[in-house]
Structure 1
Amino acid sequence: MGGHPYLVQTALYQIWRQETSLEQLLQTPLDQFEIFSDYQPYLSQAPVVSAAKPPSSVLLARLSEDQALAGPELPEGSVKLGSLFYVERPIEPRCYQTIAKPGALIRIKAPRQMGKTSLMTRIVDHASKLGYGTVRLNLRQAEDNALSSLDRFLRWFCACISQKLHRPAQLDHYWEQDRGSIFNCTTYVQDHLLETLDSPLVLALDEVDCVFVLPEIAQGFFSMLRLWHEEAKTIELWEQLRLVVAHSTEDYGRLNINQSPFNVGLPVELGEFTAAEVASLMSAHQLVWQPAQIEQLMAVVGGHPYLIRLALYQICQGLSLDQLLAEATTNTGIYEDHLRRHWVTLNQQPQLAEAFHQVVTAMQPIRLSITHVYKLYSMGLITRQGDSVVPRCELYRQYFQERLDPYAKR
């Protein structure tokens, strides 16, 4: 087992659920455990632990002390690989199947803090286990200088890919002014990367919507990605490139959607956790609740992944469910930072604040301008019901009803 995170976390989970014991786990060959069935190809090389070894020494050899003693994780950023507190989505097996196909394109859409990056991480990890080259790049890492023109952005893009693949960035060798930036970038990826790799390359791009507001870059960059995807249909070399893109909004600005990757490939839209998924997450936190208690929590925060995980983490620290719910919309509650960030964003955009005030004060679903729908959806504040919208959860309705009162139409 060594320090393999999946095996370690799976083992701990089974011990916590009392489906096996530490003694049984340590004294049995790994390939005899059904819980490790997904890892059979690797277990033939795993050492058999001698029953004569003292449990303490075996524990040190097979389960790191930090992992054995680790409690619930504070939900910050993406959920790390091997975490007990990750909830697998039903779409994931299909994502893993798709990324193995020539010329694959997966596009993940969801508001902030709904799990886009966590899913992307697992797709990339799966591809890595298949022996593929992988590059993850968050476009928000591009600095102002790189965003000053399409040419500079594509040079930055190629340099980042090369660095992550540990290859020299021979940009000047492939960049000729008369050929144009898109042609130069395409030639670089084809000749300098794909031609020299002996396996498929997965390029995973996170937060791509940050360039939607830059028309020149957005149109050129996304039309190029679409071109690469189309090339895979007729050119064998381009079959080696697999794309994963993640974004939080459908407000594409002036981007021509038909010359972009946003209407092809496998669409993945991440929603909220179901009650069953929340119950599973509670089990991982070693919490035993009645269905009525789960309903109480979800009546306030819905199935919002971040809000659910933060609640369970704080309850594991000793906070009661009653206190959590009583203080949820106050400045002393656990959601204060989360809610305040949304408040600051709305306060900086009065028209958006006015639109959301209409949503939280309405007694039924209402219609908004498409621009406001896109922005509020990307923030995670609303859900759609047909052509209308409602607050994503009661927490948002209660918190913003009063605070957005100054933006009410007079």
Structure 2
Amino acid sequence: MKDTLPYAYAGGAVGLHHLYVPRPVDEELAALLKTRRMLVNLRAPRQYGKTSLSIRLCEILEEAGHVTVLLDLRSVIGTVDEHSNTGEKWYGLFFRYIARKIGVLAADVNEWMRKESSESPIVRISNFLKHFIRRYVNKPIFLVIDEIDYVMPHGHYTDYLFEALRLIHADLDGLDLSVMLCGITHPSHLIKASGAGAFNVGHDVVLPDFPDDDGAVELWASGLPNIERRREVSRAILKATGGHPFLTSVLHNDAACAGITAPDEVAGLVEVLLADARNDMRLTPHFETPAAIIAAHVSRGYMALEVFRKLRASGDPIDLRELDKGVGTLLQTAGLVRVEGRSVSVRNPIYRSFFDDDWVSQELRSMGRGRSDRVNQRRVTRGDRKKVCLINCGGTLGMERQPDGTLAQPTDLRQFYGAVPELDDVADIDPLPLMCKDGIHMHPEDWGTIAEAIYARRNDGYSGFVLSHGTDSLAFTASAVAFALGSSLSFPVVFTGSQAPMDVPHGDARPNLIRATHLATQPIPEVCIAFSDKCFRAVRTFKVDDFKFEGFATTMNTPLALVTETVDINKGILRPVTQNERLKLRAAFEHRLIKLHVHPGLDPHLFLPLLDIAEDEKADNKYRTRGIVLETPGVGNIPTEFRWSLLPLIRSAVKRDIPVLITSQFPVKSETRAQYRPATAPLEAGAISAGGMTAPAALVKFMWAIADADRLVAANDIAPDERLSEIRAIMGRDIVGEVDVETTGQRPPNV
């Protein structure tokens, strides 16, 4: 039955018995390759006809007297394993496959590789293409390297292939050699070394979506001879699929089988297709492929899914330049987005419907599950050994040195943490490459992602969690996770970082990681920060130095624990766990805040126009100020005289339902504040005091409190005019030990 359908019904090459709808670029490329020797960068999403076009080009060029080799990296090399996890192994597979296709024995390749072992990898690849294969072939050669995106999970050694092609590019005519790289993304995005520059050689060809213009409609409609209004039906299908070749073929087959007569019936075909796909009745591989691709790149998978969720929610394209390079590449590799110039949008209406918020949430929850990522398998897991989830968020501690001296995310997290064998003496380690970012690039959405990853694994048998993180924003992220997980947390969540990278022998990376892992096995039901030999409560910690190994300090009189030969826990100051209450996740943070550092000469009139935007009904909601933080240099006092007075700014903000928080570079004791009129004046004007909270904890809690109050308003649990009062109440309430009870003598009730 399937062979009688007019259109291709599966991925891969289009069969001879199926309709092949050519694009103008097909004939143009064939004509070029017949007359010139060139490097071609062929790009298109999955199931867009790259392989079919490659096969047809090989057939055309073989008829013209060329020798052709089609090397599919997915099948020849595949993902990282023991056969491909070094440059020597990877290129051995690469060389031997090409040699076999031109009739050369593997033994001859192995002998050649042995003789060339003293050469650099780039020179060796160049010599293989320039000299070795020419010993056996005296005709023009057309080499197709398909699925080039499969270099992504491999190490930096795959960069040598692109550098070698740069090297020989100018000599292709003399070598009588053409090379075509087929993939989803441009080779520039597949080069891993920082500062390597763009892959700016070769002829770039992008296979486009089919338009719904008359020419494309006529070609597609030719397979529907029995449908009277076939052109209108084809146009409606092309609109529904966004011109995606595979989905367009599927719906044309469905139209032929159903015998539809009008274009308005196409919507029904789409609904049936989506229902079948959701129930795994057909097209399962097609719709499972994006999730599989993203799951294979966990380090950027979380960020990619969050970006896709935003694209779906907003409906507006985003600028490609706003995305992390690896995230943009991954979304294109997965085929979820369409890139036109610098504009990124959801691929097509069918994808927008199938890959919905439930799908994104499910993939986020399952990210990194079911993987045998033990750091070291020397030990057999015993019932008395504890299990720790080690989450890499980036920072100096979570990055490895590259050949060019820069720091980048580890290619293989198992190998990376395997360089610290002492971890295996502490616990069974499950590493999770959640993200790999410099601390300064962390933002509130990342805080939510981290909290969600911990929450999703709360019942997976871990005694605790360790998170490696950049030190610049470590106190902010750790505080945010503490508020997101709340007062019912019953296990340790230990953040750590380092001032020096892992490869510095005398540095702090290894001891910090080992000690943090020790702490994650202890009865410390808190989110904490482990640095040097101390363990601090996250919401009472701040950074004090960017070089010394004692990089953090606390406002508490003593740390929660001290790591010596044993772990000495100060049980008397541990936060009591809220009993008989399940762990709840509240990971929303309001980021539309303005934080001003109060200094001599700060003119409040510069900021009053920002408040007017909040009342402007025409203003974009993304730019409405939702809160103001004034960080003072003293005990919470602000200028209150003449034009420098900040009181009008506070009153104006509160009048517009914008809360104002007063924090200090130094913890403020309530009895001290009462002695200073400039410290009480802002509170009388309607501002909220952060009290003895650290600046990072106060800011993060304020963002969390605003989001939580807005949640209550949206749920009709409080009236809109109670919003400011609710924010004030939350800020004065001790949630996770952030309130300075040592100075007040009282601990407000937990929530």
Please indicate the TM-score interval, normalised by the length of the shorter structure. 0.7 to 0.9
Of residues 207-216 and 347-356 in structure 1, the stretch that sits farther from structure 2 once superposed is: 347-356
* 1:277 lines up with 2:216 in the alignment: yes
Equivalent residue in structure 2 for 1:167, among 67, 82, 104: 104
- Aligned counterparts, 1:9-408, within 5 A: 70-80=4-14, 82-140=16-74, 141-142=76-77, 144-169=81-106, 170-175=108-113, 176=115, 177-232=117-172, 236=174, 238=175, 240-250=176-186, 251-255=189-193, 262-275=199-212, 276-288=215-227, 289-318=229-258, 320=260, 321=266, 323-330=268-275, 331-332=278-279, 338-343=286-291, 349-367=301-319, 368-370=322-324, 371-404=326-359, 406=361
The gaps in structure 1 that reach 5 residues or longer are 1-65
Please give the alpha-carbon distance, in whole angstroms, between the structure 2 residues aligned to 1:180 and 1:366: 41
Q: CA deviation at 1:382?
A: 1.6
Quick one: which amino acid aligns to residue 47 of structure 2?
Q
SS in 1 for 2:45: coil
Contact 1:107 1:245 in 2 (8 A): yes
Q: CA deviation at 1:174?
A: 2.2
Structure 1 residues 346 and 300, CA, compared in 2 at 3 Å: closer, same or farther? farther
Structure 1 residues 291 and 183, CA, compared in 2 at 3 Å: closer, same or farther? closer
1:269-290 Cα distance to aligned partner (Å, 9 max, x none): 0111122324412313535334
Structure 1 residues 103 and 226, CA, compared in 2 at 3 Å: closer, same or farther? farther
RCO higher in structure (CA 8 A, sep ≥6): 1
Q: CA deviation at 1:357?
A: 1.1
Please give the alpha-carbon distance, in whole angstroms, between the structure 2 residues aligned to 1:405 and 1:167: 48
Q: CA deviation at 1:105?
A: 1.2
Q: CA deviation at 1:326?
A: 2.9
SS in 2 for 1:88: coil
Quick one: which amino acid aligns to residue 311 of structure 2?
V
Quick one: which amino acid aligns to residue 249 of structure 1?
T
TM-score normalised to structure 1 length:
0.72
Quick one: which amino acid aligns to residue 284 of structure 1?
G
Q: CA deviation at 1:109?
A: 0.7
Please give the alpha-carbon distance, in whole angstroms, between the structure 1 residues aligned to 2:184 and 2:347: 15
Contact 1:257 1:263 in 2 (8 A): no
Larger strand proportion of the pair: 2
Q: CA deviation at 1:249?
A: 2.0
> How many residues were matched structurally?
338
Q: CA deviation at 1:212?
A: 3.3
Larger Rg: 2
Please give the alpha-carbon distance, in whole angstroms, between the structure 1 residues aligned to 2:128 and 2:345: 47
Quick one: which amino acid aligns to residue 358 of structure 1?
K
Larger helix proportion of the pair: 1
TM-score normalised to structure 2 length:
0.41
Of residues 360-369 and 110-119 in structure 1, the stretch that sits farther from structure 2 once superposed is: 360-369
Structure 1 residues 401 and 78, CA, compared in 2 at 3 Å: closer, same or farther? closer
Structure 1 residues 91 and 272, CA, compared in 2 at 3 Å: closer, same or farther? same
Quick one: which amino acid aligns to residue 115 of structure 1?
G
Identity of aligned residues (%): 21
Contact 2:71 2:145 in 1 (8 A): yes
Please give the alpha-carbon distance, in whole angstroms, between the structure 2 residues aligned to 1:183 and 1:365: 42
Please give the alpha-carbon distance, in whole angstroms, between the structure 1 residues aligned to 2:100 and 2:226: 44
1:195-214 Cα distance to aligned partner (Å, 9 max, x none): 44231111111011211343
Structure 1 residues 315 and 129, CA, compared in 2 at 3 Å: closer, same or farther? same
SS in 1 for 2:93: helix
SS in 1 for 2:304: helix
Q: CA deviation at 1:296?
A: 2.8
The gaps in structure 2 that reach 5 residues or longer are 261-265, 365-444, 449-587, 589-751
Q: CA deviation at 1:77?
A: 2.7
